Amino acid sequence: MTISNHIEDAAEANRIYRAKDVVEKGFFRLKNSLELGRLRIHSDEAMQNKIFVGFIALILMSYIHREMLEHGLYYRMTLKKLILVMEKIRVIYIKGDRILMPLTKEQAGILKAFNLPPIL
């Protein structure tokens, strides 16, 4: 139950609450998943660069999270496991030719869920 002194419509109050929740979860991910809780930097420029890269990473994580929700991937794995599985994709170059190592069934399924071709 949500109570407010300023908003009379329950649906509007719920929408505002959910919007705030998204922002709070974004900052939680910045601080914890992306390890930006303590910046440990020595210049203003380094701080701005680190925060900029952190927000780009947050945008990418949010996109991955949304796609995982839409395609039911959370029933099979966590976001962390998805990243670990995809980190194992290997490409080798032989005499200038790019060769993608064979994908596992799990990797192929993830690429399909993200609407990406199996050959990166």
Q: Where are the domains of the chain?
A: 1-70, 76-120
Query: What are the tens digits of pLDDT across the range 40-80?
Result: 777 888 878 887 888 888 888 888 888 988 999 989 998 88
The span from the CA of 102 to the CA of 61, in Å, is 26
pLDDT at 81: 92
What pLDDT score does 10 carry?
A: 76
More confident residue, 116 or 9: 116
Helical pair 44-70 and 79-87, crossing angle rounded to 10 deg: 100
Contact 93, 99 (CB under 8 A): yes
Q: What is the pLDDT of residues 18-34, one digit of tens each?
A: 777 777 777 777 666 66
Q: What is the pLDDT of residue 33?
A: 66
Q: How far apart are CA 117 and CA 7, in angstroms?
A: 47
Q: pTM of the predicted model, to two decimals?
A: 0.63
